Amino acid sequence: MPSEIGVEDYAGFLPPARRTSVVPPASEWWPWRNHRIHLLRLRDANAPVRLLVVHGAGAHASALWPVASLLAGRGFDLAAVDMPLYGRTVTGSRGTVTYQDWVDLLVDLISAEDDGRPLVLLGASIGGLLTVEAGARSRSVAAVVATCLLDPQVKSARSVMTRFHSLALVFMPLLKLVRGPIARIPVKVSWIADLRNMGRDPSLGRLCAKDSRGGGAWVPLGFLASYMQHSHSEARTAHFPVHLMHPELDAWTPVELSKDTLQTLHGPTTSQLLRGCGHFPLEEPGLADLLGGLEKVAADAASGIEAVPS
């Protein structure tokens, strides 16, 4: 039986000088509906700010942990969540999971863990707009940092999300027919997502594609259809600061599409490029940009300062 791909495998893609700074996480489980939600943690009761890291469609908590853990000792109480169908989260009925479940889960998790300290959400890839939507519903989020803000309702965004690019648009009207037994049909994420462009190092995309808990996972067709049809209308009601920190050399999701979404948000926003980074921001100097940006967002959240619009 092949060994599980985990934190150490993804940490190998960090710059060599960063790898020794990765702090191993503790695992916890939280019961929610018919799931046992898996979380990675590095608790710090004295930290003024909590950070919750939310992955996208090709990763999971352990994949993002090498980056998140670099914030250890820098004023954060850290957590990363495995969304249903991904990571080590246990799901009672995988065939019925929808994207709305992801939104509902985050809303409930935010509420359950609220301890009065400011909460910053870090959303990676499609986790970006997801965290804005959930944060808008929870009303207790101090700020969101997103590496991407693709809106699945936008045609140009839909054409870059999949391996099929503009050809995928031909099949979009058929999504409304995905219901009942058809919705339960399992599809491998790597068949749909263009994981070749996950990072600047092609080996990263290959790792994600063979990771059975990430880009190599099987998800029901109904989940994919529900995501592509989700309007994210509640995200537009968010009044907390949203900070787009988009990789400069992202070969998968053009920064212009994320900026277009950012302009539709009602709250204060900022935008910056993570220099030299691919879609999965692991390279310098953009990695330092991300860590420094998160520290500034946290400091502002702790002091109650809102973002200065970009």
In a domain, 279, yes or no: yes
Q: Is residue 12 part of a domain?
A: yes
Whether 290 maps to a domain, the answer reads: yes
Instruction: Report d(CA 258, CA 271) in Å as an integer.
Output: 10
In sequence order, what DSSP letters do the residues of 248-287 get, joined into one string? TT-SSS-HHHHHHHHTT-SS-EEEEEETT--SS--STTHH
For 106-157, how does the pLDDT look when each residue is reduced to its tens digit (9 = 90+)? Answer: 999 999 999 999 999 999 999 999 999 999 999 889 999 999 999 999 988 8
Which domain range does residue 96 map to? 7-152+233-303
Which of 181, 209, 40, 178 has the alpha carbon at shortest distance from 99?
178
Q: Is 208 within the bounds of a domain? A: no
pTM of the model: 0.94
**How far apart (Å, rounded) are the C-alpha atoms in residues 195 and 106?**
25
**Nearest in space to 269 (alpha carbons), one of 242, 235, 302:** 242
Band (1; pLDDT cuts 50, 70, 90): very low
- Per-residue model confidence (pLDDT) at position 193: 87
Residue 283 covered by a domain: yes
Q: How confident is the model at residue 162 (pLDDT cuts 50, 70, 90)?
A: confident
Average pLDDT of the residues in 164-169: 54
pLDDT value for 260: 97
With respect to residue 204, please indicate whether it lies within any of the assigned structural domains.
no
Mean pLDDT of 189-207: 93
| Calpha distance 200→6 (Å, rounded) | 20
Q: What is the CATH number of the domain that holds 264?
A: 3.40.50.1820
pLDDT at 136 (0 to 100): 97
What's the domain count of the chain?
Answer: 1
Coil vs helix vs strand at 123: strand
Confirm whether 245 is domain-assigned: yes
pLDDT for the residue 51: 98
pLDDT band at residue 194 using 50, 70 and 90 as cut-offs: confident
| Confidence grade of residue 177 (pLDDT, cut at 50, 70, 90) | low
Q: Which spans in the chain are helix H?
A: 7-11, 16-19, 61-68, 99-113, 127-138, 155-161, 168-171, 189-192, 202-210, 221-228, 255-262, 286-303
| Cα atoms in the 13 Å half-sphere on the side-chain side of 152 | 23
Whether residue 132 lies inside any domain: the answer is: yes
Angle at 167 between CA 209 and CA 188, to 5 degrees: 25
Can you read off the two tokens belonging to residue 35?
């799931």
